[in-house]
Chain A
Amino acid sequence: MNEIAIKVDQVSKIFGGLTAVNQVNLEIPQKTIYSIIGPNGAGKTTLFNCISGFYVPEKGKILYFGQEIQGLSTDLIASVGISRTYQNIRLFSNLTALENIMIGLHPKFRSNWVDAIVHSPRYLREDKETKQEAIRLLNFVGLAGYGDYLAFNLPYGVQRRLEIGRALANQPRILLLDEPTAGMNMQETQSTTEFIKKLRDDLGITIILIEHDMQVVMGISDRISVLDYGTKIAEGNAAEVQSNPKVIEAYLGPGGAALAEKFQKQRRSNVKSH
């Protein structure tokens, strides 16, 4: 049984009159792919923001391998091994792809401004390492050759890969991916999904995923939680979640469960008659 990488313990995030996240409990085991799904506005990104330190939850605790991290600053959280990508891609647009990754490598090194001015041995060594490592990372995410392009000039899919590359630079143990396949076609989605699996299998990274593409979710998740209006309404593996009537109703509205069953029956009878 894997150690629990992230434990979300009765976390609530309240904005004025709106409770965006309501007493959510999650236990995310290490080295798994854990998906958080739910209709729009369910509070998924807000939860991500709590984990990565953008928001401080009003109630509850967030534990990273047993240590409390709620309320810590985002750079501290990043430096202990939690990285993320964003729903709307937040790359450093006017910098090149390579520079974006080099910035991702920032916490790994230590040369400071004095080192930079005098070109100390530490600076020279780390500068070389930074460049080499950045190129390695670029190749790893499949973007070899894109290094010198300014980030905002890159095609959409490349930008998403680059963002993941930047997040990986810090050798995180936890990777939060916010809708990584949004806007992608089938082929791109497929390659991204394969890539995410590779991250878990080869690098042992715990992946927490927000996704709307159900094929992706059902295809690669080890475990899924469903949020609706800020509350967790279901949890389990793909099959369990898919057949959970509360989940169906969250997506299709009230009476949705009955509707879904009707369609299931119809489909089964269509299949039988062929």
Chain B
Amino acid sequence: MQSKETSTPQIKRSKLPKQIRQGFGIIVLLLILWRLYLVFGVEQEYTVDIWARLLISGLVIGGVYSLIAIGYTLVYGILRMINFAHGEVMMVGTFAGYLVLEATKSITVPTPDNTLLSFSNAYPIISVILAFAIGMLIAATTGYFLEKIAYRPLRKAPRLIPLISAIGASIFLQNFAQLLFSPQTRDYVNPDIISRGAGWTMMINDSQVILPYTGVLTFVLSILLMIGLYTMIKKTKLGKAMRSVAMDKQTAALMGIDVNVIISRTFIISGALAGAAGVMWGLHNGLVYYFVGFLPGIKAFTAAVMGGIGNIPGAMLGGMLLGLMESLGPTALGISYQLKDVISFVILIVILIFRPNGILGEALSEEKV
């Protein structure tokens, strides 16, 4: 067995894959620009008030997506796994809030002027707070048990296995909810003062544009929760522990951090945020059914990736951006509203092709040497 004594063969480089990718990108970009030009430049049938409405709804849904996206990013940062069942945790929160509001609706309290009001109408603020509190609590508990039962035993397994387990857990939770509550879609009954559709009216362009109460509540509350979470991560001991476990589990353990406890707490927090998002969804969109978590879950994951997976401000930014893109997108591109979900998926694919780091994040999505 001799080493090659022949001359070194000419070394050919192949640029084809990169060229294909760049070509593809340019085509997509041109398509988008063309559509935008058509809509804005040529047809111009959408007036400012329409854009205003879309903007509002985009910001609202963006808040919801941000909260769920943070959950994905937290879990991914700490376990390097995609919590496929996170959408179902949101669904649990939505249902919990629903049940609370149903309960408060059916309890009647006497009022000073001797009429009977439901508890939820007599004390709407307390009812809503209660709905959020219990929604977040139950969702947090679900997240905790999810990790304990379906993920913890698989901590050391190759990546494929926990993902399958997560998929199984997601299917399980969905169907459990379906069996428990029937496949029927239910309506959230908000307390009267924040019923859906009610809000402050503004006049834009001679058209009435409503700033819905539920929308404002959702947006403000999500911002508050995001600020709270960010502060917690940056300033508290728990936050520091979470960050260190995310960076290097072994070293964190050597420093005396109980890794299992931190992981549990991460799931609890991400569950609570998803639960809040779920209740917001219910209040604003009004629907709850067993499958309600699936699409928001995937879209929120897209948002987390868009912002940079593992990066918390990135998840917040990604969520908002995705909400806006989803809301404004179909109209801006002149395509049917039916296809708005396609926009999210396409964004996901496009981001992962061209900028897997996300907007703010690190390159966790490509193979490392």
Contact = CB atoms under 8 A, between A and B. Distances in A.
Interface in A60-104: 64-67, 69, 72, 76, 80-81
A65 B10 CA distance: 11
A236 to B, nearest CB: 27
Nearest to A137: B1
A111 interface: no
Interface string B204-235: 00000000000000000000000000000000
A55 interface: yes
Given A49-B369, A54-B369, A203 B11 contact: no
Contacts of B3: 171-173, 203-205
B369 A72 contact: no
Nearest to B4: A171
Contacts of A204: 2-3, 5
Given A67-B11, A72-B13, A81 B4 contact: yes
**From DSSP, what is the main secondary structure of chain A's interface residues?**
loop
A205 B3 CA distance: 7
A140 interface: yes
A136 interface: yes
Interface in A130-174: 136-137, 140, 171-173
B8 A171 contact: no
Contact of A140 (B1, B11, B369): B1
B13 A65 contact: no
A67 B369 contact: no
**From DSSP, what is the main secondary structure of chain B's interface residues?**
loop
A69 B4 contact: no
Contacts of A171: 1-4
Nearest to B5: A204
A192 to B, nearest CB: 19
Contacts of A54: 369
A137 B1 CA distance: 9
B11 to A, nearest CB: 6
B9 interface: yes
Given A54-B369, A171-B3, A203-B1, A80 B9 contact: yes
A65 B4 CA distance: 13
Interface string B97-118: 0000000000000000000000
Given A55-B369, A72-B13, A80 B1 contact: no
Nearest to A69: B11
Contacts of B12: 76
B1 A76 contact: no
Contact of B8 (A55, A64, A136): A64
A80 B11 contact: yes
Interface string B4-28: 1100111111000000000000000
A81 B13 contact: no
Contacts of B369: 49, 54-55
Contact of A81 (B1, B2, B8): B8
Nearest to A49: B369
A83 to B, nearest CB: 11
Interface in B340-369: 369
Nearest to A65: B8
Contacts of A172: 3
Contacts of B4: 81, 171, 173
A132 B42 CA distance: 71
A71 B12 CA distance: 12
24 contacts: A49-B369, A54-B369, A64-B8, A65-B8, A66-B8, A67-B8, A72-B13, A76-B11, A76-B12, A76-B13, A80-B8, A81-B4, A81-B8, A136-B1, A137-B1, A140-B1, A171-B2, A171-B3, A173-B3, A203-B1, A203-B2, A204-B3, A204-B5, A205-B3
9 closest A-B pairs by CB: A65-B8, A54-B369, A204-B3, A203-B3, A205-B3, A171-B4, A173-B3, A67-B11, A171-B3
Given A49-B369, A76-B12, 11 more contacts: A54-B369, A55-B369, A66-B8, A72-B11, A72-B13, A76-B13, A81-B8, A137-B1, A171-B2, A171-B3, A204-B5
